Amino acid sequence: MICLRVRDILLTSYQDGSLSPKLQIKLQKHIETCALCRELERSVTLLSQKLKQAPAMEPPPDTWENIRENILAEQQKNRAGLPQRIRELLWFIRQELFVARRPLIGAAVIMILVTGGYRMVPKGTSEIACPQDTECFDVNSADTDYDLGTDIEQYFF
């Protein structure tokens, strides 16, 4: 077994305890004969022990209180925010309807004007009927004297 391979194992799988028994024996044999690898094995083991022995810490007591307060504040905000969201939704619908209403009103006015004009003409007649309270202009009874007393009429007639 070469030193390079042993170093790799010592820095990775050796610390895991996941080596096969066969490889473990080979590794031990090499370590017994190689001073450099033996030194590395000792150092790695010491380092691992040191890291494992590091005392476990507890979070400060106010950590949970802070989290709890944040959760309560968030819950309250969500509850208070619901009517506000509904109001915003209604306002949005209102705005949308207002925007959509203008072209609708325009189209309705045009439709009324167009269809209203046709309705003023009675069915079955091709002429426009005279209103009852006014006299219709009679072309035949009109005065044929065109002299209105102006120079231009004298020139033409």
Partner 1 sequence: MTQISREILEKAGQGDIPAFEAIYRQYCGFVYNVAYRVTGNHADAQEVTQDVFMKLYRNLKNFFFRSSFATWLYRITVNTAISLCRARRHRNAQISLDEQLIQPGTENNIREKLDAGQQVQALLEKLNPQQRACLALREMQGASYREIAATLMIPLNTVRSRLKRARLALLAGAPQKGSAL
Residues in the site for partner 1, rule: CB under 8 A? 8, 11-12, 15-16, 18, 40, 43-44, 47-48, 50-60, 63-64, 66-68, 70-72, 74-75
| Min dist. Cβ of residue 69 to partner 1 (A) | 10
Long-range contacts of residues 61-70, Cβ cutoff 8 Å, at least 24 apart: none
Whichever of 74 and 88 has its CB closer to partner 1, that residue is 74
| Min dist. Cβ of residue 28 to partner 1 (A) | 20
| Min dist. Cβ of residue 4 to partner 1 (A) | 12
Residue type, position 113, single letter: L
Whichever of 35 and 99 has its CB closer to partner 1, that residue is 35
Q: With contact defined as beta carbons under 8 Å apart, do 81 and 48 qualify?
A: no
Q: What is the DSSP string of 69-81?
A: HHHHHHHHHHHHH
Whichever of 54 and 82 has its CB closer to partner 1, that residue is 54
| Min dist. Cβ of residue 104 to partner 1 (A) | 42
Alpha carbon separation from 155 to 7, 14, 106, 144, 152 (Å, rounded): 129, 129, 52, 18, 5
